[in-house]
Structure 1
Amino acid sequence: MPRTRCYRGGSLIDEDFAIDKVSEHLKDPSAVVWVDLCAEDLEDLQRVADELGLHRLAVEDAAQGRQRPKFDRYAGHDFLSAYSVQLDVDSGQLVTAEIHAFITPSALVTVRRDEAFAIDSMLTRWDDEVELTRFGVGALLHGLLDFVIDGHFEAVESLDDQIEQLEDLLFDDRPHDQSVQRRSFELRKSLVQLRRVVLPMREVVNTLMRRDIRLVTDELMPYYQDVYDHVLRATEWTESLRDLVNTILETNLTIQGNRLNIITKKVTSWAAIIAVPTAITGFYGQNLPYPGFAQQSGFVVSSILIVALSGALYIAFKRKDWL
């Protein structure tokens, strides 16, 4: 069901009223109305669009979804697209929820693609900052953006924690090559997806803060600057984590190569040591007379040579850290 609210002078005066009463509330110049719709209910969306005079292209974008984060201006209203995100720690997958907002001088209409967007948490943020609602639609929009950007920041922090765990796994005494490669790919995929969501928000918030937009009042400007600072931090953090994941992948390949070199040295060293008794026993196994042939002294000499030469090779390889 559509959700609605009406504020007057910063106070909530009505809630969950019918969409048909939106125009009635907007007759009061001091009233600010919020309407929340799911994109599946296209009839309600069209009714609100007709009532508020929303542009056809913006309505199509909200109904179709899968838009990039953006801020578009139309005659009489603005259109905003954004995504909330949440990281599934177990799978490393980034879960996104699309939301659109139609911004008029006295109304804010949010359109969600599905129930994945935590609208109740956003309402809780509005209720916790009631002193801002007296500044109108700009205050409601700030609450929406602040909620979305904080979600981006939390997702980046979660990814940072997962990458730290990946680093510990990378330098563990026991090799975890397959786990490291699979987890690195999962986190890298989530970072690429997060970058597509976070990076455009820098331009969106920066545009909203422009003086010619006349959406952010002087009283709200510090709050939007705080949101913009969070956007910049989330963007820079995402870029650094992306580079870090690439470094982990390269480091893992380097460690695998070093481990292979060590194994090759050890196998070669043991093969050289084993070759000594093989050569000596092969020599003394000839069917030709030689010093010590068919005598006990021949066995003693061959055994001494095997032990001495093998021991000398073992000590030499050990000193060179080949064993």
Structure 2
Amino acid sequence: MIEGLDIADARVWRREETKVRSIEAGALADAMRDEENLVWVDLLDPSPEQLRQLVLRLGVSGTVVEDALAPHERAKVTPHADHLFFTVYATQLATDTLAEHADGRSHLSVTRISGIVLPRALITIRVSSPYCEAFDMGEVVKRWDDSASLMTQGSGALVHGLLDYVVDGHFDTIQSLDDALEGLEETLFAERRTGSEFVRTTYAIRKDLVALRRVVLPMREVVNALMRHRGRTGGPLDAWYDDLYDHVLRASEWTESLRDMVSTVFETNLSLQDARLNTIMKKLAAWAAIISVPTAVTGWFGQNVPYPGFQAHSGLVMSVVITVALSGGLYAIFRHNDWL
């Protein structure tokens, strides 16, 4: 093939048989020219020049080089006359515990996978990142092996197996975030008050959901574009792609519902804090009213003027009785109104 090109893995399926056999890099060009073969090649970190030579030999669009290697590309499908190019993102959550989310940082890892889809070949392109190793192509190959009968349907079967694994990874990530949100709800309505740790955890989960949403929502367009390009052939892949599209819709709806839920949790926490603050203010006002009674009574009787019980023991008894009676009465009224 191309000098220095790093081929992470490669397979060939014969049209007459579903048995899979590995293939050496030097034999890939011949294998891809054989119309009886179905070929998959996995490239890891190709240079722009290497990828440019590859697309030139394959006769595909030169825009593939930029789309496959440029940073910050969104998930998409680009149709061409005789081939397709797609980019998708696999996800994995580094943690599923609330304690680790409390640092306020995002724990969502994203792996980018691009692909060139030819009638009898699929070339996947991966660019190294801190999370690249988290995506296990071996599991994708295992899925292809488990559905070996579909290999006779061409490269569409390979694309389906790859995207099915990616979408399943989305579901695992969404499930982990859903579990984390349930833990937040339990903390939210617990007797103890929430603090800054709760706010940081909520913020971290919200960041993960925003990043996940940018990855999951475009998958509807990706799968829909692949289905339109394939057309309805009546073959077995139609049902598999319909099922894949249904999974993508469910993942999108689940992500949107979790995004709404985390916003609701955040707003509910603020409302509960306001309610607790109002309760505290009522208690303080009630105690202030109670304390004002003895202050007023002693202040009144402390005036240097004659009054009933002035300079007599009965005056002391009267002041104590009035203070206790009025304070006790106010306490009973506030307690009855649930102010204390």
TM-score by length of 2: 0.89
Query: Which string of whole-angstrom CA distances, capped at 9 and with x for unpartnered residues, describes residues 65-112 of structure 1?
Result: 421111101233110110001123233522111110000111100011
Q: 1:8 Cα deviation (Å)?
A: 0.7
Distance 2:192 2:264 in 1: 20
1:273-321 Cα deviation digits (max 9, x unpaired): 0111111112222233332222211111111111111100110111111
Distance 1:286 1:101 in 2: 93
Letter in 1 for 2:51: L
Q: Give yes or no for the alignment of 1:161 onto 2:179.
A: yes
Is 1:294 the counterpart of 2:325 in the alignment? no
Q: What letter matches 1:150 in structure 2?
A: D
Q: Secondary structure at the match of 1:287?
A: coil
Moved over 6 A (4+): none
Counterpart of 1:125 in structure 2 is 143
Question: Secondary structure of 1:33's match?
Answer: strand
The one of 199, 207, 215 aligned to 2:217: 199
Query: Which one is further off, 24-33 or 297-306?
Result: 24-33
Q: 1:179: how far off?
A: 2.9
Instruction: Output the amino acid matched with 2:39.
Output: V
Equivalent residue of 2:12, what SS?
strand
**Aligned position for 2:73:** 67
> 2-side partners of 1:263 and 1:257: how far apart?
10
Distance between the aligned counterparts of 2:54 and 2:12, measured in 1? 15
Give the 5 Å matches for 1:120-269: 120-210=138-228, 213=230, 218-269=235-286
Equivalent residue, structure 2, for 1:102? 116
Check whether the contact 1:138–1:216 (CA below 8 A) recurs between aligned residues: no
Instruction: Tell me the SS of whatever aligns to 2:148.
Output: coil
Q: Return the match for 2:35 from 29, 33, 37.
A: 29
**Structure 1 position 244, deviation (Å):** 1.2
Say if 1:208 and 1:215, in contact at 8 Å, map to a contact too. no
Q: Deviations over 1:133-171 (max 9, x none)?
A: 222211111100100111111111111111111111111
C-alpha distance in structure 2 between counterparts of 1:230 and 1:213, whole Å = 19
Write the distance in 2 (CA, Å) between the matches of 1:107 and 1:74. Answer: 15
What is the alpha-carbon distance in structure 2 between the residues aligned to residue 61 and residue 175 of structure 1?
A: 49
Confirm or deny: 8 A CA contact 1:37 1:44 kept in the other structure: no
User: Alignment RMSD, CA only?
Assistant: 1.9
Over the matched positions of the two proteins, sequence identity in percent amounts to 46
Q: Specify whether residues 36 and 60 from structure 1 end up closer, same or farther in structure 2 by C-alpha distance, changes over 3 A only.
A: same
What is the letter of the counterpart of residue 11 of structure 1? T
Post-superposition offset of 1:11:
3.2
Summarize the Cα distance change of 1:231–1:118 in structure 2 as closer, same or farther, 3 Å threshold.
same
1:184-215 per-residue CA deviation (whole Å, 9 max, x = no partner) reads 221222111111111111111112112x5459
In structure 2, the residue corresponding to 1:103 is in which secondary structure? Answer: strand
Q: 1:292 to 1:94 in 2, by over 3 A?
A: same
Distance 2:285 2:233 in 1: 72
Alpha-carbon distance in structure 1 between the residues aligned to 2:333 and 2:191: 26
Which residue identity does 1:140 align to in structure 2?
L
Give yes or no for the alignment of 1:11 onto 2:18. yes
Distance in 1 (alpha carbons) for counterparts of 2:48 and 2:155: 24
Select which of 29, 37, 53 maps to 2:59: 53
- 2:259 and 2:33 map into 1 onto residues whose CA distance is 50
In structure 2, the gaps of 5 or more residues are 1-5
Name whichever of 140-149 and 82-91 sits farther off: 82-91
Aligned length: 321
Greater shift in the superposed pair: 147-156 or 288-297: 288-297
**Greater shift in the superposed pair: 292-301 or 177-186:** 177-186
2:324 partner SS:
helix
SS of residue in 1 equivalent to 2:179: helix
- Counterpart amino acid of residue 114 in structure 2: H
Shift of residue 16, structure 1, vs aligned partner? 4.8
